[in-house]
Amino acid sequence: MNNFTVDSLREFLNSHGVGTTIWGTGITKPIEKLLEEIKEGECELILNDNKIERVVNCCSIDIYYKTDDDEIWKLREKKQIMFSGEIKNPGEIKNLSHTESVRGKNKKNEDPEEAIKREMQEEIGVSVIGYEKLRFIETTNHEGMPTTFPGLFSRYTQNHFETYLHKEYFKPEGYIENQPYKKIYFEWEKL
């Protein structure tokens, strides 16, 4: 099910009761973003009792920094500003804790550890030389209706890690990720 065009994907979703008319407004993503996720192997659409489910393998990480005075800081996603002007705060999304520093989707056949390394590079611009060896914490499962694609039931398998950032990669002012539809702001919080 990955040979869709925008029109055929919209028709497939609508024919199975998933309306897409409000997608791409406010904090929702446009149907083109779902098509991109499918083509990049970040999600799969399956039929379960004639209902569409979006299946996603995710990765997340807690990123810490320890100062010379032994203070511990944790990086957190503060907010997302959509190019429409809407602001999305992490706590608004149901069924996910959003206490992790960085999270993202695995690409098809991508190992969870490699996926989170890629996400850290993409989201905060820090490569593997910028942090300590990753430590695996747990795998969890979530399900529900995402705010990004309203009406599309989604199942998530999330592999969670943690690490400490090296001093030379610590930016006290935080980090900003620029995406095609939004900017994501990350800030440090003292624990």
pLDDT in tens, 109-155: 999 999 999 999 999 999 999 999 999 999 999 999 988 899 999 99
Q: Please state, in angstroms and rounded to a whole number, the distance separating the CA atoms of residues 60 and 78.
A: 15
pLDDT at 34: 95
Architecture in CATH for domain 56-190: Alpha-Beta Complex (3.90)
Q: How large is the average pLDDT for residues 93-105?
A: 68
Q: Enter the pTM of the model.
A: 0.84
Residues 149-189 pLDDT 10s: 999 999 999 999 999 999 999 999 999 999 887 899 999 99
Burial class (CB in 10 A: 0-12, 13-18, 19+), 49: exposed
Lowest mean pLDDT among 28-32, 55-59, 75-79, 81-85: 81-85
Q: Are the C-beta atoms of 134 and 113 separated by less than 8 Å?
A: yes
pLDDT band for 65, please (50, 70, 90 cuts).
very high
What are the residue boundaries of the structural domains of the chain, listed by start? 56-190
pLDDT band for 97, please (50, 70, 90 cuts).
very low
pLDDT at 136: 97
pLDDT band for 96, please (50, 70, 90 cuts).
very low
Q: φ, ψ for residue 51 (rounded to 5)?
A: -115, 140
Q: Are the C-beta atoms of 155 and 54 separated by less than 8 Å?
A: yes
Helix (H, G, I), strand (E, B) or coil at 91: helix
Q: Are the C-beta atoms of 165 and 50 separated by less than 8 Å?
A: no
pLDDT greater than 80 at residue 30:
yes
pLDDT band for 60, please (50, 70, 90 cuts).
very high
pLDDT at 93: 45
DSSP letter for 183, please.
Answer: E
